[in-house]
Chain A
Amino acid sequence: MKSFTQHPIPLKAPFWKKAHPVDVAYIGYGLVIVVMVIGSYVLGAVNWLPHDPAAIDMALLNAPPNTAGHWLGTDFMGRDLLTRLILGIQAYFLPGLTAIAIALTVGSFGGVVAGYWGGRLNLVVTYAANLIDSFPRLVLILLMVAVFKPDIYLIMIVVGITNVPIVAGLIKSKVMLLKEKNFIEAAVALGLGNFRIIFKHILWHNCRALLIIQATLGMAEAILIETSLSYLGFGVQEPIPSWGNMVQAGSNYFLQGQFWPSTAPALAILFTILGFHLLGDGLNNILERKTG
Chain B
Amino acid sequence: MQTSALKPIARLLTKELLIAVLLLLGVSLVVFFILYLAPGNPFATLAGKRAGSNWHQIQDNEPSGAWYAQYLHWLGRVVQGDLGHSTRSGLPVFNEVIKTGLNTAFLTIGSILLTLLLAVPIAVYTARKGLTAIGWGLTAGSYILAALPSFWFGYIVIYICIHQFGVFPLAFGADASQWRGIYFLLPVLVLGLCSGTLSEMVRYLREELSRVLTEDYIRTARAKGASIWKHALREGFVLPVTEMVAAKIPFVLGGAVVVEQVFNWPGMGRLAWQAAQDRDFPMIMGITLMAAVFVRTGSLIKQVVHICVNPRASQE
Residues of A within 8 A of B (CB): 22, 127, 130-131, 133-140, 142-148, 220, 224, 227-228, 231-234, 244, 247-248, 251, 254-255, 262-263, 266, 269-271, 273-274, 277-278, 281
Contact = CB atoms under 8 A, between A and B. Distances in A.
- Which DSSP category, helix, strand, loop or mixed, fits chain A's interface? helix
Nearest to B39: A148
- Which DSSP category, helix, strand, loop or mixed, fits chain B's interface? helix
Interface in B180-231: 196, 199, 203
Contacts of B304: none
Given A131-B23, A254-B159, A143 B257 contact: no
Give 7 nearest A-B pairs by CB, closest first. A138-B254, A273-B147, A136-B253, A136-B250, A146-B276, A142-B276, A147-B38
A223 to B, nearest CB: 9
Nearest to B145: A270
Which of A139, A266, A269 counts the most chain B CB atoms within 10 A? A139
Contact of B152 (A148, A232, A266): A266
B31 interface: yes
B31 A143 contact: yes
B261 A224 contact: no
B138 interface: no
A244 B150 CA distance: 11
B119 interface: no
B35 A224 contact: no
Contacts of B258: 138, 228, 231-232
A244 B148 CA distance: 11
A228 B150 contact: yes
Contact of A147 (B30, B281, B292): B281
Contact of A136 (B30, B136, B156, B291): B291
A22 B149 contact: no
A291 to B, nearest CB: 16
B143 A251 contact: no
30 contacts: A22-B136, A127-B26, A134-B296, A135-B27, A135-B292, A135-B295, A136-B251, A138-B255, A146-B275, A146-B276, A147-B34, A147-B279, A148-B38, A227-B149, A228-B149, A228-B254, A234-B276, A244-B149, A247-B149, A248-B151, A254-B155, A254-B158, A255-B159, A262-B152, A263-B152, A266-B148, A270-B144, A271-B147, A277-B199, A281-B203
A274 B141 CA distance: 11
Given A138-B254, A144-B34, A127 B280 contact: no
A162 to B, nearest CB: 8
Contacts of A139: 253-254, 257, 269, 272, 287-288, 291
Contacts of A127: 22-23, 26
Interface in B5-35: 19, 22-24, 26-27, 30-31, 34-35
Contacts of A262: 152, 155
A142 B257 contact: yes
Contact of A143 (B152, B199, B285): B285
Which of B131, B152, B155 counts the most chain A CB atoms within 10 A? B152
Interface in B146-184: 146-152, 155-156, 158-159, 162
A244 B149 CA distance: 9
Contact of B295 (A136, A145, A220, A244): A136
A64 to B, nearest CB: 17
Which of A146, A233, A271 counts the most chain B CB atoms within 10 A? A146
Contact of B151 (A136, A228, A278): A228
B237 interface: no
A41 B200 CA distance: 29
Given A143-B31, A148-B39, A224-B196, A231 B255 contact: no
Given A127-B26, A136-B250, A251-B152, A232 B292 contact: no
B136 A142 contact: no
B284 interface: yes
A126 to B, nearest CB: 9
Contacts of A147: 34-35, 38, 42, 279, 281, 284
B74 interface: no
Contacts of A228: 149-151, 254-255, 257-258
Given A135-B30, A143-B284, A228-B258, 18 more contacts: A130-B23, A131-B26, A135-B27, A138-B253, A138-B258, A139-B291, A142-B257, A142-B276, A224-B149, A228-B149, A231-B261, A232-B273, A247-B151, A262-B155, A263-B152, A269-B149, A273-B146, A277-B146
A22 B131 contact: yes
Nearest to B277: A233
Contacts of A251: 151-152, 155
A172 B311 CA distance: 23
B275 A137 contact: no
A263 B159 CA distance: 13
A142 B270 CA distance: 11
B261 A135 contact: no
B276 A269 contact: no
A130 B302 CA distance: 14
Nearest to B294: A136
A131 B30 CA distance: 9
Given A270-B147, A277-B146, A278-B143, A232 B257 contact: yes
